[in-house]
Amino acid sequence: MVLRIFGLSGVVTVVSLVVALLYGGPEALILCAILGILEVSLSFDNAVINATVLERMSEFWQKIFLTVGVLIAVFGMRLVFPLAIVWITAGLNPADALDLALNPPPDDASHFADGSPSYETLLTDAHPQIAAFGGMFLALLFLNFIFDEREITWLSWLEKPLAKAGKLDMLSVVVAGSGLVLIAEFVAADDKRATVLAAGLLGMITYIAVDGLGSMFHTEDLEGGPSDLVKATGKAGFFLFLYLEVLDASFSFDGVIGAFAITSDPIIIALGLGLIGAMFVRSITVYLVRRGTLQEYVYLEHGAHWAIGALAVILLVSIGVHINEIITGLVGVAFIGAAFASSIIRNRREGDSKEVENEPEVTPVG
């Protein structure tokens, strides 16, 4: 099963590395491998969240996301998205933006001899609005999870009080909106405040719209609650698909921006982040769904959402302060690793308690 799920990702990795070697020699191959590892480390929490949503979708919509959705992730977010930012922010047409990306200034300079900015510089200048949009989308995702009452809690000492506070209607929007105002006021540069506010507000609107549409068409059981036995189809499946695509886009922001600290070559970025990274994230998602890992290790979903909350904070803080991508990746891995370990301990305790309950009673002699 493992070979079947991860086999295609392995083949794609080998092909991508060969293409990188032919394209730019040993240096390009090494950069491509580094970017692939970076994307997988940054996106493991993405795979966990993808799996939680995919479990609610019908088999048809699961296949659509794992095929069409992955293509959008590979070519849309890792290749077209950075180019589109340059088209919009610099006022260049697509052909000029692509030419600028493929022909950087010598010696990795930030500007050409005539003073015009490089592709990497233009994309970096657009980071505040990208981080504001993605940060607010992920912040609402985290807050809606943490303010919701759940039967199972991981960090109970913190999650239970937050769930009680979440009974206040729209608290997640209030907290997220307040955070956006503070970030714009104290973190963003003076000339970026309005842009950050607008981008952050758009991120909030996007989350509310997509999440609301998904909830509107969510299939319910006879008692009015969401049914675990009925998978989302039709419009419900479609809006969950849209939700996953926007979610993947939000997760991709830090990886795409971080990639330019390693190389500005869009071909290497597409091979490393897109093909290698995105394919392994897809395989991890499929593995989690097929093996029922989220049901077996019940705290993984909690760990992934706490990682999302940390990523949202990192994105918003990065509007004014540079944060190393290694830190971003390690924070996510740490939360999920801790949640996984906690799940194992919980399972062992439950197993031990069941063994005690099942032990036959010994009747005393005499």
Report the pLDDT value the prediction gives residue 350, as an integer from 0 to 100: 82
- How far is the C-alpha of 149 from the C-alpha of 160, rounded, in Å? 7
Whole-number average pLDDT of the chain: 80
Q: Which of 88-102, 174-188, 335-349 has the lowest mean pLDDT?
A: 88-102
Report the pLDDT value the prediction gives residue 205, as an integer from 0 to 100: 92
Q: Which residue has the tokens 């010696």?
A: 107
Each domain of the chain, given as residue ranges in start order, spans 2-349
Report the pLDDT value the prediction gives residue 220, as an integer from 0 to 100: 40
- How far is the C-alpha of 32 from the C-alpha of 21, rounded, in Å? 9
Q: For the segment 245-271, what is each residue's pLDDT rounded down to a tens digit? A: 877 777 776 667 667 667 767 788 888
Report the pLDDT value the prediction gives residue 232, as an integer from 0 to 100: 57
Question: Whole-prediction pTM value?
Answer: 0.78
b/e per residue 167-178 (b: at least 16 CB within 10 A)? eeeeebeebbbe
Q: What is the mean pLDDT of the segment spanning 15-22?
A: 93
Confidence band, pLDDT 50/70/90 cuts, at residue 164: very high
